[in-house]
A = this chain, B = another copy of it.
Amino acid sequence: MTKKEKPTILVVNDDGIDAPGIKVLIDAMKDLGRVVVVAPDSPQSATGHAITIARPLRLDRVHIYPDVEMYKCSGTPVDCVKLAVNKVFHDQKPAICVSGINHGLNHSINVIYSGTMSAAVEGAIESIPSIGFSYDDFSYDADFSKCVPFVKAIARQVLEHGLPVGTLLNVNFPKAEKMKGIKICRQANAKWAEEFDERTDPHNRNYYWLTGVFQLNDKGEDTDVWALKNEYVSLVPIQFDLTAHHAIPVLNNWQFDVQEG
């Protein structure tokens, strides 16, 4: 790439191509490069790293924001990244992949459920430096303006430095009068304690709505949850090698009694 060539930036999300959060991200990225959007045609929150293998996918050019190359996809956020790489970029990778801005936080264990973060993970699997952005406001009318200077500053650093091999970034923004700055964090140890709301349908059959209570099991002051609570922007490097390397020596000492018939 010559100095004058603008980097190509892939923008994805999980809230859908018409979500306000992706509009903010598109506008922020326009200052940094040539923007290409491939996003789901319907909300895909909490689809995790699901991909579509049992039915065909649609990918259609749309003109929602006329000055931007945009495609809507009938699949999951991860499908969007795969279709972008193969059918939009024809394996000429973009310089970076940014996902979001999600309506709602994706800190701690939420990374694993999040379509926003899974799209960024898929970007990283494709060796594209990738960042997921999420903001602590679920509402359609969320005001993302305070996130924008941070989004640009972080994306600029990734365009300049790339990212360590096999990693991506998870960035969360607190809902604060003034965000205090960026904290590099680890993912907090937390989980959702399930609570299913049990109801009866008009045909007298039971059904369940998933709800849950967030359980923080971590008093550390180096976590994303701590940073957000203290009005910092949290930045967690994420990896997709799921091997628990520290457990290998433990398991090597086990004796397996395999009784073959």
Interface residues, chain A, with chain B CB atoms under 8 Å away: 43, 45-54, 56-59, 76, 78-79, 82-83, 85-87, 109, 111-113, 118, 121, 125-126, 145, 148-150, 152-154, 156-157, 161, 163-164, 166-167, 169, 181-182, 184, 186-187, 189, 191, 194-196, 198-199, 205-210, 235-248, 250-252, 254-261
Chain A interface SS verdict (over half): mixed
Q: A47-B48, A51-B210, A52-B210 are in contact. List 12 more A-B contacts (CB 8 A).
A: A58-B208, A83-B194, A109-B125, A153-B257, A153-B258, A167-B247, A182-B256, A186-B243, A186-B248, A187-B242, A189-B241, A236-B243
Copies held by the complex = 2
Cβ of A209: which chain B residues have Cβ within 8 Å of it? 56-57
Q: How far is the CA of A246 from the CA of B56 in the complex (A)?
A: 39
Give the 8 A-B CB pairs with smallest separation, nearest first: A48-B49, A237-B247, A239-B244, A237-B244, A56-B207, A86-B194, A48-B48, A167-B244
